[in-house]
Amino acid sequence: MNEPPFDSWRRVDVHAVLVGKRVDLRSFFSAEHPGVAPLAVAAGERGMAVIFRYGVVVLFNVQVVEEGAFLNHLRPFIGEATDRREEEEAVLLIDAEGEDMVDAAGVIHLREVSVERLALIADVLAKSVMLAYDENRLARAFDRVEPIAEGMRRNVDRTIALRQLLDHIGDVLLTQHRMVGRAQISEKPDLLWDHPELERLYARLREEYELVERDTALSRKLALISQTAETALGLLQARSSLRVEWYIVILIVIEIVLTLYELFIA
């Protein structure tokens, strides 16, 4: 990529936004840079964007108008645009005399700007956005599971309950796939293998955005929703099986009665 003029950066606004469920990076990069697939691209006049295949774009030093133009340019490569725009904002301060750190106000300090440092920050912000999106989805799922369970207790509308339970199980599987397979929330970025000197910065960012704690809490909620939905589904199936068995018993009894009628009456 053509690097923006990092030397002019002093205070930088960072904006991470979830634009869809995925971004077709291969098509986008082959269209922009034939034969090259960089993670970071120039955006706006003096900014940079880091694009993640799981649907998050992180923009550095990009003005609002420039951001809109960049996202419009990216739109043809976005798959399944999200109905809820999840966002995360941060501020970078560049100080050659300082150190890489995150202060008490959440401001990120860098002693120098490099594509690797920005990509690392983008990785953490993108994962934070994905966690926020899944946290909101699971919060709504919790609200929906309770009335379904209550309806089952009262034997109300079992058909709808069954369909909704299957939807919940599907949502849980999709969320787990996104967290583990795509975003890889709990895993360190591959960048650290080539740049171990950035380990400390990554640890501070991960702690600031509570990636591990939020991922653990989400995993527990996913397990609880999954267990609740599967248990309720099992109960519904057991009830259905019991009803079928009663139908069979009734049919057998009717057949016996008819046979006795033919023997003793006819």
Give the model's confidence band at 153: pLDDT under 50 very low, under 70 low, under 90 confident, else very high. Answer: low
Range of 22-26, 124-128, 243-247 with top mean pLDDT? 124-128
Asked whether 60 and 51 are in contact (CB, 8 A), the reply is no
- 106: three-class secondary structure by DSSP: coil
The residues facing 226 across adjacent strands are none
How much is the pLDDT for 34? 44
How much is the pLDDT for 259? 66
Tell the residue number behind the tokens 């207790």, with chain if given: 153
Give the model's confidence band at 143: pLDDT under 50 very low, under 70 low, under 90 confident, else very high. Answer: low
CA distances from 23 to 18, 44, 213 (A): 10, 19, 27
Which sign does the torsion angle of CA 208, 86, 179, 161 carry?
A: positive
| Identity of the amino acid at 142 | F
The residues facing 177 across adjacent strands are none
How much is the pLDDT for 10? 87
Please give the Cα distance from 201 to 212 (Å, whole number): 15
Give the model's confidence band at 230: pLDDT under 50 very low, under 70 low, under 90 confident, else very high. Answer: low
Higher pLDDT, 161 or 60: 60
Q: Which pairs count as long-range contacts for 97-102, CB under 8 Å and 24+ apart, including other chains?
A: 100/198, 100/200, 100/201, 100/204, 101/201, 101/204, 102/204, 102/205, 102/207, 102/208
How much is the pLDDT for 163? 62
The DSSP symbol for 45 reads T
Give the model's confidence band at 193: pLDDT under 50 very low, under 70 low, under 90 confident, else very high. Answer: confident
Nearest 5°: the CA angle 71, 18, 176 is 145
Alpha helices by DSSP H, listed for the chain, are 25-32, 64-74, 115-153, 158-177, 191-194, 199-208, 211-264
Asked whether 79 and 21 are in contact (CB, 8 A), the reply is yes
* 16, pLDDT greater than 90: yes
Average pLDDT rounded to a whole number, residues 98-117: 88
Residue 111 has a CB neighbour count (10 Å cut-off) of 13
* 227, pLDDT greater than 60: yes
Average pLDDT rounded to a whole number, residues 170-195: 68
How much is the pLDDT for 220? 80
Percent of the chain with pLDDT over 90: 25
* 69, pLDDT greater than 90: yes
Asked whether 49 and 41 are in contact (CB, 8 A), the reply is yes
Average pLDDT rounded to a whole number, residues 156-174: 58
Q: Where do the structural domains in the chain lie, given as residue ranges?
A: 6-113, 127-264
Higher pLDDT, 158 or 249: 249
* 119, pLDDT greater than 70: yes
* 99, pLDDT greater than 70: yes
Which sign does the torsion angle of CA 178, 181, 186, 190 carry?
A: negative
Average pLDDT rounded to a whole number, residues 84-92: 88
Q: What is the pTM of this model?
A: 0.74
* 266, pLDDT greater than 60: no
* 114, pLDDT greater than 80: yes
How much is the pLDDT for 36? 41
